């Protein structure tokens, strides 16, 4: 929590996980219960399934990489 609090002062925090939203939200809600630190949450449905693996395409964030 402390790390997220400090980082959020300097950067937009986007969490991207290959986990389902229902599972990930339990953890993320514990870390950021007021939804003030994590700007965006991306889940399995935002991944691309290729050859049985979930791939995270960071271009989906719409941010300059």
The 10s digit of each residue's pLDDT in 2-19 is 999 999 999 999 999 999
4-59 tens-digit pLDDT? 999 999 999 999 999 999 999 999 999 999 999 999 999 999 999 999 999 999 88
Name residue, tokens 């691309």.
Answer: 48
Q: Which residues of 19-39 are buried (b: 16+ CB within 10 A; e: fewer)?
A: beeeebeeebeeebeeeebbe
DSSP 8-class letter at 40: E
φ, ψ of residue 3 to 5 degrees: the values are -60, -45
Q: How far apart are CA 57 and CA 14, in angstroms?
A: 13
Give the Cα-Cα-Cα angle 16, 17, 21 (nearest 5 degrees).
Answer: 105
């Amino acid at each position: 929590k402390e790390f997220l609090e400090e980082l959020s002062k300097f950067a937009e925090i986007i969490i991207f996980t290959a986990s389902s939203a229902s599972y990930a939200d339990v953890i993320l809600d514990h870390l950021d219960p007021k939804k003030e630190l994590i700007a965006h949450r991306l889940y399995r449905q935002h991944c691309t399934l290729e050859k049985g693996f979930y791939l995270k395409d960071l271009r989906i964030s719409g941010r300059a990489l």
